[in-house]
Amino acid sequence: MINFLHIREHLHEYHEDKSWWAYFYCLNIKDRPSIRKFITHGYWANEYCRNIKEDTEVAKRIDDFIELRGL
């Protein structure tokens, strides 16, 4: 029998904040627009623009991280 509670803990679909998962997916697997939309947290948006590529759509989400960018 499948333990769905255990699966739920490990699958990204069940986590509210998918930003970290989307960032590492784009970094290590494939940078896709459909995955980029999940990068909503300012920290991970900043990491994406700094380490993968500068993207204006993703950069718009850095606003809550602005004090750490030195702006």
Work out how many domains the chain is built from and give that number: 1
Residue 3, in any domain of the structure: no
pLDDT (average), residues 20-44? 93
Q: 């995955």: which residue's tokens? A: 35
Question: How far is residue 53's CA from residue 6's CA, in Å, rounded to a whole number?
Answer: 35
The CA distance from 33 to 29, in Å, is 13
The pLDDT assigned to 63 comes to: 78
Domain interval for residue 26: 16-69
Q: In percent, how much of the chain has pLDDT > 90?
A: 56
Q: Is there a domain that residue 1 lies in?
A: no
Q: Greatest CA separation found in the chain?
A: 53
pLDDT band at 64 (very low <50, low <70, confident <90, very high): low
46 in a domain, yes or no?
yes
Residue 10 lies in a domain: no
In this structure, what are the phi and psi dihedrals at residue 8, rounded to the nearest 5 degrees?
Answer: -60, -35
